Chains A and B, each alone.
Chain A
Amino acid sequence: MHVLNICYRAFGFIKGFGLVLSGLALAGMILSISADVLSRNLSGNSIPGVYEVVMFYLMPLSVLPIVFYAFAQGVSPRIPMVFDRLPARFQKALYLFVVMAELLLMAIVAFYSFEYAVDGTTAGHAFPAAGDMYPKYPVYYLIPIGFAGVAVELAFIGLKNVMQPGVWITYTKDQATIAEEFQV
């Protein structure tokens, strides 16, 4: 268990890195769109390429590196009305199954989006902006990274459920904590 916690904390660093990346991209998005609006209203010209760069770089960068951080917070909606009323012993087995099935799904998305990213790299996918071509394929890798991150988080949750008593909905919050937190 100790080892697992250490590993989870290490994974936390990766999440932190994703947050920093996302925060920078958000700042970039706010500043570049605002600058674009300002430039258009002052000089009548928009800044060439802002639209495409926001769409293809900043938007994916601000929302993808943090999907596994978001998932780890336990706000992703599930409707636990039936689940919470099941017999306690059955709940754990069922949740383990759910975690494994979701892990498989996330891994599948990560796998195929990774394949697409590799194909895009080979084909040199690019977008035209401000009269030039910019490579699009590097941002493709954010999808498999995000989904693999969710899969890793699910693996941690699954292991925690195996090693510790109780039903752990997220790695740090068991069923009771989640229910209590949402009461506030």
Chain B
Amino acid sequence: MSDPLFLLSILCAFLILMAAGFHIHSILLGIGVIGLALIQDFSIASAFLRSDPFGQVASYALTTIPLYVIMAQFILKSGVVQDAFIMVYKLSKGKPTVLGAMTVVIGGFLGAVSGSGAATAASLGSVAVPELRSYGFRRELAGAIAAASGSLSGIIPPSIILILYGVITETPISDLFMAAIIPGVLTMLVFVGCVIVMHRRGRDVSQPVPAPSSEIRISARRAITVVMVGVFMFSLIFGGIYLGFVTPTEAGAIGALGAFVTALVLGKVNRSFMASSVKDTATVTGMIMLILIGAAIFGRFVSFSLLPRRILSMIEFLIQYPSVVLIILAVVFFILFMFIEGTAVILMALPVVLPVIQKAGIDVLWFGVFISVICTLGLITPPVGLSVYSAAGTSGVPASSIFGPATKMAVAVAVFVCGSMIVFPELATWLPSTVSR
């Protein structure tokens, strides 16, 4: 089978199974198993099925997923978030767009402590979506804001993708982190812009308009509690990480403990608090794990088929036109990241792309940030968008409706951020160059 035909049949299989109503994890798993059986034989599929699921789960880095999720549950169930949103709403003089923008900025801050876009999106889905909804955001936009804000963890350092890229290409990781700051902030700003534009275009009239700010009363005691909890969690996580007490992975556990202590102090902890926290955490992490296991098998199939390296070798002849190569690569990666989990794409495509990049004279450091931006967008594009699924799982807004606005945001970032990175490479290369090495 020729490569384009092969690619097309994978795509068709995906769409048909989706239309038939299969769950995403089954689609990934099913195409992976059948694909492996077709290109080799069933024994190779079963060989991967034996050990990959366990290998996927037994990971220290993945502890951030259940831990960030349960941290969000603890905070949410102690009622602080609702108060926080009321306060910000009051301060913003009743402008809901400020709340939307604030959610994105919170996502950016969370991104600075978390490497995983799925974990932060899950937290924001449960914490921010109900609040955004009650201030008049359409449910799909509220979900998309949570998903997009959560996805920022993928590009704002520390980021698993940047670390992986650094290790594979032997690019200094601190340079990559520095280089990602401006594009990361730009991505955040583009998301904020999207929130403002998309919210103006259609607010949810079915929701009651919240009372004018002067009429909402929040007692001084509750306001002080909100501020204290905020300062406590912020210093625990950020202070812990930036003063060197904890690593970002460990911050998940420390944050969860801190949030639990907070709930304890506020007198919220009882049997139902514990039971519902564990249940809600189980629902989200179980869902993410099923997808990750399916994605692992699907990724093995794509690797094994050698398709990415063959496609990329087809464009090798374009090397004398670096910007053409870049635009093609951006499109190819955008598509790969749509379907396949981010780290898997990096692992399967980078060994092939890297020589092309180097031959075309493209800066490897710059390219790492470029590809990480695109990877971050993969978290919010259909059909496989882990941040969207996480936000959907915790907020109850269906993933299929979130994908609409989320994809628009992704395209906006792809055009504005990736475009300006191509036009002004200094956006990534300038910061690292200011540090004497």
CA distance A30 to B24 in the complex (A): 30
Which range contains the number of A residues in contact with the other chain?
A: 35 or more
Known: A67-B290, A182-B398. A56 touches B58 (CB 8 A): yes
Cross-chain contact of B54 among A36, A37, A83, A143 (Cβ < 8 A) = A143
Is B383 a contact of A37 with CB atoms below 8 Å?
no
Tell me if B254 and A37 are in contact (CB < 8 A): yes
| A75-B283 contact, Cβ under 8 Å, with A59-B63, A67-B290 | yes
The answer to whether residues A66 and B21 also contact, given A60-B54, A101-B30 and a CB cut-off of 8 A, is: no
| Cα distance A115–B383 in the bound complex, in angstroms | 32
Q: Is A69 an interface residue (CB 8 A)?
A: yes
Interface residue? A81 (CB, 8 A): yes
From A4-12, A102-110, A158-166, the one touching the partner chain is A102-110
What separation, in Å, do the CA atoms of A143 and B392 have in the docked complex?
A: 25
- A112 CA / B53 CA spacing, docked (Å): 10
Enumerate chain B residues within 8 angstroms of A112, measured Cβ to Cβ. Answer: 46, 49-50
Q: Are A98 and B20 in contact (CB under 8 A)?
A: yes
The answer to whether A77 and B399 have CB atoms under 8 Å apart is: yes
Q: Which residues of B contact A70 (CB under 8 A)?
A: 282-287, 289-290
Within 8 A of A (CB), among B1-34: 18-26, 29-30, 33
Question: Is B326 at the interface (CB under 8 A from chain A)?
Answer: no
Interchain CB contact under 8 A, A113 and B54: yes
| Known pairs A23-B278, A59-B57, A60-B54; A75 contacts B392 (CB<8 A) | yes
Q: Name the distance in Å between A117's Cβ and chain B's nearest Cβ.
A: 8
Main DSSP-derived SS at the A contact region: helix
In the bound complex, do residue B278 and residue A26 qualify as a contact, i.e. CB atoms below 8 Å apart?
yes
Instruction: Tell me if A78 and B24 are in contact (CB < 8 A).
Output: yes
Q: Mark B273-293, 1 if CB is under 8 A from A, else 0.
A: 010001101111111011101
Question: Which of B33, B59, B287 gathers the greatest number of chain A CB atoms within 10 Å?
Answer: B287
Query: Which A residue sits closest to B256, measured CB to CB?
Result: A30
Cα of A68 to Cα of B70 in the assembled complex, Å: 19
**For A76, what are the chain B residues with a Cβ–Cβ distance below 8 Å?**
23-25, 287, 290-291
Contacts of B278 in A (CB 8 A): 19, 22-23, 26
Q: Is A148 an interface residue (CB 8 A)?
A: no
Q: Which residues of B contact A106 (CB under 8 A)?
A: 26
The answer to whether A98 and B22 touch (CB under 8 A), given A55-B58, A63-B66, is yes
The listed residue (A36, A51, A66, A78) touching B282 by CB distance below 8 A is A66
Does the CB pair B287–A79 fall under 8 Å? Answer: no
Is there contact, CB below 8 Å, between A77 and B250?
no
Q: Is the CB of B20 within 8 A of A108?
A: no
- Give the contacting residue for B253; candidates A29, A63, A119; CB below 8 A: A29
Say whether, besides A19-B279, A23-B274, A59-B63, A66 and B256 are in contact (CB < 8 Å). no
Instruction: Judge whether B139 is part of the interface by a CB distance below 8 angstroms.
Output: yes
Beyond A69-B286, A76-B290, 17 additional contacts (C-beta under 8 Å) are A26-B66, A30-B253, A34-B257, A54-B63, A59-B59, A62-B66, A63-B286, A66-B285, A66-B286, A70-B282, A70-B283, A70-B286, A77-B23, A83-B19, A83-B21, A143-B53, A143-B57
**Chain B residues engaging chain A, CB cutoff 8 angstroms:** 18-26, 29-30, 33, 46, 49-51, 53-54, 57-60, 62-63, 65-67, 70, 139, 240, 245-246, 250, 252-254, 256-257, 260, 274, 278-279, 281-287, 289-291, 293, 382-383, 389, 392-393, 396-401, 403
| Chain A residues near B (Cβ < 8 Å) | 18-19, 22-23, 26, 29-31, 33-34, 36-37, 41, 51, 54-56, 59-60, 62-64, 66-71, 73, 75-83, 94-95, 97-98, 101-102, 105-106, 108-109, 112-113, 115-116, 119, 139-140, 143, 147, 150, 181-184
Q: Can you show 14 pairs from A to B with CB atoms below 8 A apart? A: A19-B282, A30-B260, A33-B253, A54-B63, A55-B58, A70-B283, A77-B287, A78-B23, A78-B24, A79-B400, A80-B398, A102-B22, A139-B54, A143-B53
